[in-house]
Amino acid sequence: MYRFFFYLCITKTLNMEQNLIRKNMWNTAAKAGLVLGAVSSAYMFITQLMAGSTGFLITILSFLLWAVKFGGCIWLMSFFMKKHVAAHPEVDNKGTFSLGMAIALLSALVYSAAAFANIAFISGDAISEQVNLTMQQMGSMMDSNSIALMETYMEKLPQITFFSNLIYCFVFGTVLSYILSRNIPSRDPFANYKPDQQ
């Protein structure tokens, strides 16, 4: 009877610890997802402002901005994973990967929502003008079915943009979190080593 009671107390304590770690994981993922989504969204709007400009310096600046965004997102993902592991030393590589997937999902949602809002409300007119100009230039090479398909595509562009960005960013973030989580926390290569006993 005492053993059963002791087992129940230990199980309940472990479940409470797991729930607390899971709650903290989602809190960390929400903060990290917001930061990563904001960085990617800022990059999208900055490059959109630069889109009308041409020249060698603009090309170099665009590449540098992309490199900073790309490297910064990798660094931020690693930073939040390491911070979570430092706060919860009992988290293993699997738990770190779960955190990375949650960050990937939430940051993908933030960025996809910003891209949707950009096309649907902020820059929709400019994008429609560009598509109309392209259709006028290519109109002689397109038949009526192609033109109708293009018009249907333009009507659904915000939704297509949202879901394509959501899938792409989530997959990219999941792959990145898998790569990073293999060494966060760092593994001891000699953990299972047992010297020969003579």
The string of pLDDT tens digits covering residues 146-185 is 777 777 877 888 899 999 999 999 999 999 999 999 999 8
Nearest to 91 by CA among 29, 164, 5, 149: 29
Contacts of 7 (CB under 8 A, 6+ apart): none
Question: What's the CA dihedral at 100, 63, 162, 148 to 10 degrees?
Answer: -150
Q: Would you state the torsion angle of the CA atoms of residues 6, 10, 16, 22, taken in this order, to the nearest 10 degrees?
A: -160
Q: What is the pLDDT of residues 80-118, one digit of tens each?
A: 999 999 998 888 999 999 999 999 999 999 999 999 999
Give the other-Cβ count within 10 Å of 40's Cβ.
22
Of 66-80, 126-140, 183-197, least confident by mean pLDDT is 183-197
Most confident range, picked from 25-34, 43-52, 129-138, 143-152: 25-34
Average pLDDT, the chain: 84
Binned at pLDDT 50, 70 and 90, residue 12 comes out as low
Q: Is the pLDDT of residue 4 over 50?
A: yes
Helices in the chain by DSSP H: which ranges? Answer: 2-50, 56-87, 93-117, 124-138, 144-155, 157-181
Matching residue, tokens 């598509």: 131
pLDDT value, residue 163:
96
